């Protein structure tokens, strides 16, 4: 299957200070000094540190074992565990995705912290996290519109390292993409570099739908989606 690739400018992401404040746990306009000034500084300079790319690959045939929680795509079996398996139960197809904000934004954050500017380094780190998530939102919206044209819906996206799906399965996911796709590589511990990168799966089907993340199903306290996504009751 062909891979659909994307490349964005920082201005395409439409990241504003309120989104950064929300991610940091503050209400809009409620971040204390010096954060508002730091956020403005970082957003003004962030474009030069970002190389925003991503893509997805659609699989027209999948097998989902609801008892053992395995998802089979071509020659690979993913042990996605109970939570992800349940959210994919209406899927007839699936898309694997990869997206990154680029190496520069993470390296900038590390340098600031190494030089002792911990607060600005933290803001840059948050901006990098939001950039890659918003870029992936745009890619997911594109996939959703593509599937609507054939009367299909999509699920929310799920990533190794979340919802009990082990990060050790990253190499299987990356095996479906060209080596160093979007400049991303995996470490021996299966972590992605650039660090501001995401990967995972999206279900596709006539009855599939995006419901929001059901955080009550998961015990992961530092999950990015717990801060930025809405919850629904099961």
Torsion angle, alpha carbons of 158, 163, 168, 173, to 10:
-10
Q: Domain count of the chain?
A: 1
**For residue range 10-42, what is the model confidence (pLDDT) as tens digits?**
999 999 999 999 999 999 999 999 999 999 999
φ and ψ of 33, to 5 deg: -65, 145
- Residue 37: domain span: 3-228
Candidates 144, 141, 167, 163; CA nearest to 86 is: 163
- What was the pLDDT predicted at 133? 97
In a domain, 118, yes or no: yes
- What was the pLDDT predicted at 224? 53
Measured CA distances, 9 to 47, 96, 136 (Å): 7, 23, 13
- What was the pLDDT predicted at 177? 97
In a domain, 233, yes or no: no
CATH number for position 101 = 3.40.109.40
pTM exceeds cut of 0.85: yes
In a domain, 39, yes or no: yes
| Cα(51)–Cα(31) distance, integer angstroms | 28
In a domain, 234, yes or no: no
- What was the pLDDT predicted at 223? 55
| Cα(230)–Cα(195) distance, integer angstroms | 25
In a domain, 206, yes or no: yes
In a domain, 163, yes or no: yes
Distance of CA 38 to the CA centre of its chain: 25
Residues of the chain predicted below pLDDT 70: 1, 213-234
In a domain, 72, yes or no: yes
H or E stretch including 5?
strand 3-8
In a domain, 53, yes or no: yes
**For residue range 44-63, what is the model confidence (pLDDT) as tens digits?**
999 999 999 999 999 999 99
């Amino acid at each position: 299957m062909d891979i659909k690739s994307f490349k964005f400018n920082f201005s395409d992401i439409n990241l504003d200070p309120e989104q950064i404040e929300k991610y940091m746990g503050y209400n809009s306009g409620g971040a204390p000094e010096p954060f508002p000034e730091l956020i403005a500084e970082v957003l003004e300079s962030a474009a030069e540190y970002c190389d925003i790319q991503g893509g997805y690959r659609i699989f027209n045939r999948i097998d989902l074992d609801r008892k053992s929680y395995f998802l089979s795509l071509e020659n690979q079996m993913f042990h996605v565990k109970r939570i992800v398996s349940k959210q994919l139960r209406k899927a007839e197809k699936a898309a694997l995705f990869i997206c990154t904000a680029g190496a520069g934004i993470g390296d900038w954050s590390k340098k600031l912290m190494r030089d002792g500017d911990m607060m600005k380094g933290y803001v840059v780190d948050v901006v990098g996290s939001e950039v890659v998530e918003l870029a992936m939102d745009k890619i997911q919206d594109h996939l959703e519109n593509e599937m609507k044209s054939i009367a299909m819906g999509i699920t929310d996206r799920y990533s190794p390292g979340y919802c009990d799906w082990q990060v050790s399965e990253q190499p299987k996911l990356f095996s479906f993409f060209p080596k160093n796709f979007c400049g991303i590589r995996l470490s021996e511990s299966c972590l992605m570099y650039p660090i501001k990168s995401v990967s995972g799966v999206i279900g596709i089907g006539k009855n599939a739908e995006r419901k929001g993340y059901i955080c009550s199903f998961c015990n992961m306290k530092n999950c990015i989606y717990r801060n930025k996504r809405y919850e629904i009751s099961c």
